[in-house]
Amino acid sequence: MEDAELDLSPAHSDQNSPSPSISSSPSLSLPSTPSSSCGPPQATTPPLGVINEGVAELSLVIDAEVAQRACQEVLQKVKLRQVDSDSTLSQSEEGPDAPPSDPEGPAPGSVKSARRRQRHNPSKQSWLLRLFESKLFDVSMAISYLYKSKEPGVQAYIGNRLFSFPHEEVDFYLPQLLNMYIHMDEDVGDAIKPYVVHRCRQSISFSLQCAWLLGAYSSDMHISTQRHSRGTKLRKLILSDELKPAGPRVRRDPLALTPFCPAAPPTVSPGPLGGDHSLSPTKRTHQRSKSDATVSISLSSNLKRTASNPKVETSQDEPVRLAPQREFIKSLLCIGKRLATLPTKEQKTQRLISELSLLNHKLPARVWLPTSAFDHHVVRVPHTQAVVLNSKDKAPYLIYVEVLECENFETSSVPIRIPENRIRSTRSVENLPDCGMTPEQRAGSFSVVPNYDNDDEAWSVDDIGELQVELPETHTNSCDNISQFSVDSITSLESKEPVFIAAGDIRRRLSEQLAQAPTTFKRDPEDPSAVALKEPWEEKVRRIREGSPYGHLPTWRLLSVIVKCGDDLRQELLAFQVLRQLQSIWEQERVPLWIKPYKILVLSADSGMIEPVLNAVSLHQVRKQSQLSLLDYFLQEHGSFTTEAFLTAQRNFVQSCAGYSLICYLLQVKDRHNGNILLDSEGHIIHIDFGFILSSSPRNLGFETSAFKLTSEFVDVMGGPDGDMFNYYKMLMLQGLIAARKHMEKVLQIVEIMQQGSQLPCFHGSSTMRALKERFHMSLTEEQLQLLIDQLVDGSMRSLTTKLYDGFQYLTNGIM
């Protein structure tokens, strides 16, 4: 694929391919390079197209070139600024606003002056360049410079430099990149676009991700501007599926050749086209693959499954690229919308199950869950397992999804459909008379069984097999004496010796087995999710696997996802990013704070998907079901104080508490009730629902003044306020805060960039960023920080003690 591309590109790069990129970004290198001694840009600027389509190594080489030629002078300036901030570094003790490597420090005015100065100081020009080329220069810095630098040259350089970073690293900042693309000026947009377009060509998943995010982050714009905004245009471009990968796969499609230049061999570039489509630099060579070609393939066929209709798969191997997944997501969202119209939970659940069972008909297909970490195809939705989650007027729901892991979901072939009841399909064949059979034989094969005969015959063989699968393992040894009896009884028929059983035994077994059975929650039509979430994940996986026609495949996996309709998940995504960032900072600094960022997929400004936290129930549920204090629950679940299991769970609890306490403080996470805090099976707590962060808080909850939630129950689990673990907790928080402070920029930038053009409540007011920055307390010494932590913890505990006192009053007054 690459080879083919490289063959093509040089052929026209000279005449054509630069033109689109240059035409759209002439300011990129020219105006800002008054003293440039370079030749005409057409000749020297390597065609972006080549970079785009080339291998990473190749683009790296060219990047350096670009950097040298196009950005040199600009770099000088920035370098200069660097010097400025270096000089301010000495003063940084006094002002909290001067981080060591913060290039943003100087006001715009000083940038201008810097620029002026820089012209006279060409000697310093290579410093920034050296930084950019150094190994330390990572994505985070790139994003930061991209955002803060006002120099088109720097922006363009970074835009190119993006190509050299690993995909995953850039992907993390995708919301930031796209938000900049949408809301910042032309130059930033132009710098980002080639990279985005390039990645879109490579990956369906990336394309969709971009399209969704672009849609979501454009939504805060005024409707009139939104329609014509860059973001909307790019989104349309992506969704129009014009950004197809170049390569043999396209060529394979015979349909593709017809609409455009039917006679033209791929290498002949139709000149005029290049000018028309300024959007995609290397487009004309791929023109054949344009969506027009595939439009003829009806959308309907995309999700049409393949087993019963293999023709679809073979003849239309590459249907519209993005369509299946889009349809899949769309149908999931649609189900959510329809559920919201139903009045009762029960109806919602029924409807959900029936809708999903219809969805199953279209699976397997080339669709996947974007929240998953590995490539896969969705093969089945075990529809009866889906549950509607508790919500007043919306209908978020949790589905489990069976997938088959694969090498690459774009190229691996879609699994063949296996009918729901695969076991019996073999039987119906075997049951069938062959055409050559005599009537007697046939009659025999239809009427299966003689009268009360032995067991195996009465239930044909495969039934037995099926049953054994269905029987939970625990039962087979503990209480299979009954089936033992049935075997006995058959032999006794011959020996004529009656078998006696005591009625008391039967009754006893019944109550024992009922007691033995794992405590499942009673099915409550008003809270259908409780039962589903209670079941341990492994058990659920095993159960669903047994019931699935795909369960026998080695690549079978079970995933789950929460589909949310009518909820804005952009804040959740922001929180996820911050959590992820802090997590990696703590990891990097080797401080053992534990947090669990859960993946968020923003589909639009009011819909999305959430990766559920496995094996976790809310503190509320724990309390309600167990009727125990948190400490007693820990003792019950993990063993007594001295056991290793308990100590491990306790340590986990402390580490997660420390992590989330810091998170709650830094992000000002509010609305922390027990339903929003989960407890997993290892003792970790996990905060969910970041609906109120930063500047937003629920109106009615004025009393939630403490920095974070630290109830006495928490402290009890840690061993009381004087215990070692509690000190460990505070120490962890201190270490965590110090580590976070060290990398504050990385955290701030995530939030700051997302503030651009955003109407999210968490950015309400003007002081969001400043307040956030202040919470890192850059100016404090470590001793002071320690004091601060103590204060925060004390404050949180005090607010709880008062509450406790109130509760005590309440109880002693005889309500219990």
Partner 1 sequence: MSQVEKKAGLLRRTSSSKKPLKEKVVLMYDEIFAKEDPAKNNPRFWDELFLMKVNLEYLESKLESVDGEDVQRIQDNINSLFHHCVQALGEEHQIKVVNALQTLCALFRGVHQKNKSASGFDIINMLMGFDKAEQRMKDLMERLDSLLCGDSSESLKSLCLKLLLCLVTVTDNISQNTILEYVMINSIFEAILQILSDASSRGQHGYDAVVLLALLVNYRKYESVNPYIVKLSIVDDEPTLDGMGMVVHQALTEYNRQYKDKEEENQGGFFSTLTSMVGSMFIADADEKLSVQTNEAILLALYEAVHLNRNFITVLAQSHPEIDIAATPTTTTPTTPTTPLGTTPPSLDMMSNPELPLDPNLQTSNLLITFLKYASIVMQDTKDEHRLNSARLCLIILTCIAEDQYADAFLHDDNMNFRVSLHRMPMRHRKKAVDKNIPSRPLVCAVLDLMVEFIVTHMMKDFPMDLYLRCVQIIHKLLCYQKKCRIRLHYTWRELWSALINLLKFLLSNETTLLAKHNIFHLALLVVNLFNMFITYGDTFLPTSNSYDELYYEIVRMHQVFDNLYCMVLRVSTNTGQWKEAASKVTHALVNVRAIINHFNPKIESYAAVNHISQLSEEQVLEVVRSNYDTLTLKLQDGLDQFERYSEQPKEAAFFKELVRSISLNVRKNVSLNTLSQDVLLKEFSTIS
The DSSP bridge pattern shows strands 387-388 and 600-604 to be: unpaired
Tokens for 20, please give them: 């689109």
Query: Which residue, 472 or 698, is less far from partner 1 as judged by CB?
Result: 472
Give least dist CB 616 to partner 1, A.
21
Subset of residues 434 to 463 that bind partner 1, contact rule: CB under 8 A: 434-437, 439, 442-443, 446-449, 451-453, 455, 458-460, 463
Query: Which residue, 390 or 784, is less far from partner 1 as judged by CB?
Result: 390
Residues in CB range of 168: below 8 A, 6 or more apart: none
Subset of residues 299 to 328 that bind partner 1, contact rule: CB under 8 A: 299-304, 308, 327-328
For residue 724, how many other CB atoms are within 10 A of its CB? 11
Element (H, E) at 401: strand 397-405
* Contact in structure between 214 and 604 (CB atoms under 8 Å): no
Give least dist CB 438 to partner 1, A.
9
* Contact in structure between 74 and 307 (CB atoms under 8 Å): no
Among 523, 627, 809, 815, binds partner 1 (CB under 8 A): 523
Give least dist CB 324 to partner 1, A.
8
Subset of residues 273 to 302 that bind partner 1, contact rule: CB under 8 A: 298-302
Stretch that binds partner 1, among 156-164, 187-195, 248-256, 488-496 (CB under 8 A): 488-496
Among 90, 108, 373, 500, binds partner 1 (CB under 8 A): 500
Residue 657 amino acid letter: C
Sign (positive or negative) of CA dihedral 596, 597, 601, 602: positive
Query: Which residue, 252 or 442, is less far from partner 1 as judged by CB?
Result: 442
Subset of residues 398 to 427 that bind partner 1, contact rule: CB under 8 A: 419-421, 424-425, 427
Question: Angle CA(601)–CA(654)–CA(667) in degrees, nearest 5?
Answer: 45
Query: Which residue, 363 or 686, is less far from partner 1 as judged by CB?
Result: 363
Residue 155: closest CA among 145, 165, 170: 145
Give least dist CB 503 to partner 1, A.
4
What is the per-residue binding string for partner 1 in 347-386, x denoting contact by CB under 8 A? Answer: x-xxx-xxx-xxx-xx---------------------xx-
Give least dist CB 171 to partner 1, A.
27
Query: Which residue, 419 or 807, is less far from partner 1 as judged by CB?
Result: 419
Give least dist CB 396 to partner 1, A.
17
Query: Which residue, 425 or 802, is less far from partner 1 as judged by CB?
Result: 425
Give the per-residue SS3 of 713-738: HHHHHCCCCCCHHHHHHHHHHHHHHH
For the stretch 533-540, contacts whose Cβ atoms lie closer than 8 Å and that sit 24 or more positions apart, written own/partner, are 533/387, 533/398, 533/616, 533/617, 533/621, 534/617, 534/621, 534/625, 536/615, 536/681, 537/614, 537/615, 540/385, 540/400
Size of the site for partner 1 (CB under 8 A): 97
Torsion of CA 102, 103, 104, 105, to 10 degrees: 70
Asked if 672 interacts with partner 1 (CB under 8 A), we say no
Query: Which residue, 384 or 626, is less far from partner 1 as judged by CB?
Result: 384
Give least dist CB 520 to partner 1, A.
10
Among 107, 223, 263, 503, binds partner 1 (CB under 8 A): 503
Among 65, 488, 632, 682, binds partner 1 (CB under 8 A): 488
Subset of residues 525 to 554 that bind partner 1, contact rule: CB under 8 A: 525, 547
* Contact in structure between 322 and 302 (CB atoms under 8 Å): no
Query: Which residue, 367 or 595, is less far from partner 1 as judged by CB?
Result: 367
Query: Which residue, 134 or 483, is less far from partner 1 as judged by CB?
Result: 483
* DSSP-H helix ranges across 617-720: 619-626, 630-638, 644-667, 712-717
Query: Which residue, 317 or 524, is less far from partner 1 as judged by CB?
Result: 524
Question: Angle CA(58)–CA(60)–CA(61) in degrees, nearest 5?
Answer: 70
* Contact in structure between 279 and 21 (CB atoms under 8 Å): no
